[in-house]
């Protein structure tokens, strides 16, 4: 896109000559077919402008995209017409849900199977817990019995047996002592009887022998009682205590083993339940995602407005776009179109690289709409891209441009995004100078001339140019205010 402006000075006479030769500006009196027009030289202001074509666009656009669903290949089964007027929530495009419904049915079957498997595992868990509780109770009871047996033996049975043996030993000793006293008494009686009655003496002698025999038997019984008490203390009690202690330790070990096994069994089945729950949760999440994807297959209007199909990027809008209609296949998140906010519009202009240095943010701009020739707009250069882009975004060899945004100072209900706009960006206002239209000048032999109208005809006069625009040239020397110069009819 070439801006229609030129900068004249004393070094561009040859360029002016070329322009004049092409357009026929300043031809002298031999050509009677095209009468000349007259321009009166004045002092005043004129603008140096950079002219370019731009496109109306909304400051804010609500993008409408194909849903970001899990499957590629979205087939349109319904679409409103381009430029349809919509209310918020109105359906714009609907995509086929056939493959999603098939997958949803399969997912529901998987979830039902997962729920059944989870129920079976939980029932097995309850039965296993009952078995574990029963086994732990049995082991606990066995430990309690062994502890009670040891405690009873140590605290009751063993002391009772020991006391009984001690009592038997004491009774045997007492019997021996008693019999020994009896023997002493008998022997005393025997001494008394030896001096008396013979029969009495013989009888007492028999009693002495019997007592002595009895003492031997009682001493033997005393020795046996002492032996039994010693055996109890040295062997019976330690062995029985140790046996009962071993039974208690074994019962404790059995209980500990049962607790460990029970914990392992419980953890194992709880792990299976947890795994099944995670699987079921994953399946349910997948179903939820499917339902969400299915709900996303209906694309609705985010706001009130008019839908415009195609890429809202003004530089890509004219590139090849898919037809949004029934049967078209789109990709995930592919742009369907946009709904512009018509309350505030701007003009997008691609400024050629050669003109970048001549425009600045804040520069005034005058605009004309090709589709609305009677409408005139004004605005300001709002933003200029810092980086150059390719005119054809995918072709790096295409001319470089600087995307520029011009804000509008007024709005009109007839304006629509996409309208072509002719933009004049005012780069300089040349004030209080003598100037003439560029059509009044012509070049010859390295100098610039114009024809001044006189009463007797036209006078050719050499001039010195200053600054210029595409329409006017500042005159430094050669013309004064009030002079009348001839213009070419072809340039009017």
User: Average pLDDT for residues 346-375, to the nearest whole number?
Assistant: 89
Confidence class of residue 314 from pLDDT cuts 50, 70 and 90?
Answer: low
User: Average pLDDT for residues 11-24, to the nearest whole number?
Assistant: 39
- Token code pair at residue 146: 């062994």
Task: List the beta strands (DSSP E) in 41-174.
Answer: 42-58, 61-65, 74-79, 85-86, 91-95
Place of tokens 């205010």: 481
Contact indicator for 363, 427 with CB cutoff of 8 Å: yes
Q: In this predicted model, what pLDDT tens digit does every residue of 52-104 receive, in sequence order?
A: 889 888 888 888 999 988 777 899 999 999 989 899 999 999 999 988 899 99
Q: In this predicted model, what pLDDT tens digit does every residue of 399-425 receive, in sequence order?
A: 899 999 999 988 888 888 888 999 989
Average pLDDT, the chain: 85
Q: CA separation (Å) from 183 to 108, 206, 219?
A: 109, 11, 14
Ordered structural domains, the chain, with CATH: 10-60+344-491 (2.40.30.170), 61-96+297-340 (2.40.50.100), 100-293 (1.10.287)
- Closest Cα partner for 147 from 248, 233, 289? 248
Q: In this predicted model, what pLDDT tens digit does every residue of 456-488 receive, in sequence order?
A: 888 999 999 998 887 889 999 999 999 999 986
How much is the pTM? 0.50
Confidence class of residue 196 from pLDDT cuts 50, 70 and 90?
Answer: low
CA dihedral 438, 443, 448, 452 (to 10 degrees): -70
The C-alpha atoms of residue 333 and residue 328 are separated, in whole angstroms, by: 15
Confidence class of residue 10 from pLDDT cuts 50, 70 and 90?
Answer: very low
* 238 three-class SS: helix
Beta bridge partners, 485, equal 39, 452
Backbone angles phi, psi at 485, to 5 degrees: -110, 155
Q: What is the pLDDT of residue 19?
A: 37
Q: In this predicted model, what pLDDT tens digit does every residue of 427-465 receive, in sequence order?
A: 888 899 999 999 999 998 889 999 999 888 889 999 999
400-419 b/e with 16+ CB inside 10 Å = b?
A: ebbbbbbebeeeeeebbbeb
The C-alpha atoms of residue 180 and residue 212 are separated, in whole angstroms, by: 8
A 10 A CB-CB count for 384 gives 16
User: Average pLDDT for residues 322-340, to the nearest whole number?
Assistant: 90
Q: What is the pLDDT of residue 311?
A: 80
The C-alpha atoms of residue 467 and residue 49 are separated, in whole angstroms, by: 12
């Amino acid at each position: 896109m070439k801006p229609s402006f030129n900068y004249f000075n004393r070094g561009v006479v040859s360029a002016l000559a070329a322009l004049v030769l092409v357009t026929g500006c300043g031809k002298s009196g031999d050509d009677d077919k095209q009468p000349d027009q007259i321009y009166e030289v004045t002092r005043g202001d004129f603008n140096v402008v950079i002219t370019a074509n731009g496109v109306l666009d909304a400051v804010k656009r609500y993008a409408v995209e194909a849903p970001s669903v899990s499957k590629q290949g979205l087939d349109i089964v319904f679409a409103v017409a381009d430029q349809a007027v919509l209310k918020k929530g109105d359906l714009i495009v609907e995509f086929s849900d056939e493959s999603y419904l098939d997958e949803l049915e399969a997912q529901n079957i998987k979830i039902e199977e997962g729920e059944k498997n989870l129920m079976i595992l939980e029932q097995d868990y309850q039965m296993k817990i009952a078995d574990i509780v029963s086994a732990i109770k049995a082991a606990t009871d066995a430990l309690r019995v062994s502890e009670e047996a040891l405690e009873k033996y140590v605290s009751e049975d063993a002391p009772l047996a020991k006391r009984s043996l001690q009592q038997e030993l004491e009774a045997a000793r007492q019997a021996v002592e008693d019999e020994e006293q009896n023997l002493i008494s008998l022997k005393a009686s025997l001494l008394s009887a030896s001096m008396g009655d013979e029969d009495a003496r013989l009888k007492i002698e028999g009693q002495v022998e019997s007592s002595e025999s009895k003492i031997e038997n009682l001493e033997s019984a005393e020795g046996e009682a002492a032996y039994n008490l010693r055996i109890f203390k040295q062997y019976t009690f330690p062995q029985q205590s140790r046996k009962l202690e071993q039974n208690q330790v074994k019962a404790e070990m059995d209980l500990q083993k049962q607790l460990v096994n029970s914990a392992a069994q419980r953890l194992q089945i709880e792990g299976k339940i947890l795994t099944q729950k995670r699987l079921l949760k994953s399946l349910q999440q997948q179903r939820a995602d499917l339902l969400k994807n299915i709900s996303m297959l209906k694309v609705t209007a985010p706001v009130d407005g008019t839908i415009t199909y195609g890429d809202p990027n003004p530089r890509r809008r004219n590139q090849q776009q898919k037809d949004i209609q029934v049967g078209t296949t789109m990709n995930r998140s592919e742009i369907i179109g946009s709904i512009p906010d018509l309350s505030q519009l701007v003009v997008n202009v691609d400024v050629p690289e050669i003109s970048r240095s001549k425009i600045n943010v804040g520069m005034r701009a005058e605009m004309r709409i090709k589709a609305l020739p009677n409408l005139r707009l004004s605005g300001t250069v709002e933003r200029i891209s810092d980086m150059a882009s390719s005119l054809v975004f995918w072709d790096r060899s295409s001319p470089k441009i600087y995307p520029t945004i011009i804000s509008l100072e007024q709005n009109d209900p007839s304006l629509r995004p996409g309208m072509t706009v002719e933009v004049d960006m005012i780069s300089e206002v040349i004030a209080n100078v003598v100037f003439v239209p560029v059509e009044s000048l012509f070049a010859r032999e390295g100098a610039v001339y114009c024809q001044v109208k006189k009463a007797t005809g036209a006078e050719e006069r050499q001039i010195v140019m200053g600054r210029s625009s595409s329409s006017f040239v500042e005159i430094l020397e050669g013309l004064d205010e009030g002079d009348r110069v001839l213009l070419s009819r072809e340039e009017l």
